Amino acid sequence: MKKIVFLVTFLLTTSFLFAGGGWPQPYRGGYFKFSQNYIRSPYFFGPDGSIVDITTVQLFTTSMYGEYGFTKRLTGILYFPLFVRNTLNETVFNQSGQVVPGDEFQSIGDTDVAVKYAMVMNKPIVLSATLLLGLPFGKSTGGVGQILQTGDGEFNQMIRLDASHSFYPKPLYVSAYAGFNNRTQDFSDEIRFGAEVGLTYKRFTPILKLNVVQSIYNGDAEAVQNGIFSNNTEYVSPTVELNYELKEKVGVSVSGGFAFAGKNILASPNWSAGIYLKL
């Protein structure tokens, strides 16, 4: 397929929306974001990494994300998809003329609750550790055909380390992370890692991110062939995020991402837009 292939990078069992990198939120400080994500895909990365045609799937996700500093070292994190809508288009078979009607399903989505502890502060490189719990509030079966999903139905736990460095007084920073994600219900565990670089110019902050997920292939759960809530999901995905501060502590954010490679996941453009507040 002679086209750039994009990859959805949201709602992948655990969220990558750690706004602070290795830095904790200040005591009683916070970062809160209301977002809308959208993906429409007639393509899927198969188990061997090849791209296959599927009946067009659409996923709409309205979410809340927040970080709050309980102490100068301890930050609480919450990602809550308060509305997820999954749709499947009508299919017409050309040879037989048979029409398979479309389907739709909506509910809340899988939710992440986490705590981040700053182990090293006020040094050239700051370091933090995060424990994240992925709560299966979404539905793994839904719609008339019971094949639509707003979650994967498994409870996962991830340990993650973040390291960050600021080039202050230059308005530039870099961060990197590595994590291990333990999944239940016979899903394979995962290794996750990535990096980002951000630059602030007046009110404008562009950020370039790279996220990688590698399955350990130690589970027996079925790899769903038409969605994103699947077992043995893998990808290598850069994402561009653009942030603009409308006024002090209030701004808007848009993002999009694409994949160099993927397995067992939708293969189409992902777009996100939101508004954020800093305390």
**82-123 confidence digits (pLDDT tens):** 999 999 887 766 666 677 788 999 999 999 999 999 999 999
- Which pair of structure tokens corresponds to residue 26? 């200040």
| Closest residue by Cα to residue 153 from 80, 85, 231 | 231
Question: How far is the CA of 148 from the CAs of 68, 202, 212, in angstroms?
Answer: 34, 44, 25
**This prediction's pTM:** 0.90
Task: Report CA torsion sign: 42, 266, 46, 134.
Answer: negative
User: pLDDT tens across 14-25, in order?
Assistant: 344 455 789 999
User: pLDDT tens across 47-66, in order?
Assistant: 999 999 888 899 999 999 99
Q: Give 102 or 198, the one with higher predicted confidence.
A: 198
**Are the C-beta atoms of 272 and 9 separated by less than 8 Å?**
no
User: pLDDT tens across 148-196, in order?
Assistant: 889 999 999 999 999 999 999 999 999 999 999 999 999 999 999 999 9
| Omega of the bond leading into 47 within 30 degrees of 0 (cis) | no
Average pLDDT, the chain: 89
Ranking 24-33, 219-228, 249-258 by mean pLDDT, the lowest is: 219-228
Tell me what the mean pLDDT of segment 236-244 comes to: 95
Question: What 3-state DSSP class applies to 169?
Answer: coil
pLDDT at 227: 63
**Are the C-beta atoms of 259 and 268 separated by less than 8 Å?**
no
Query: Amino acid letter at 150?
Result: T
Which residues neighbour 95 within 8 Å (Cβ) at sequence distance 6 or greater? Answer: none
What domains does the chain contain, in order, with CATH numbers? 30-88+100-278 (2.40.160.40)
What percent of the chain shows pLDDT beyond 90? 69
Tell me what the mean pLDDT of segment 200-213 comes to: 95
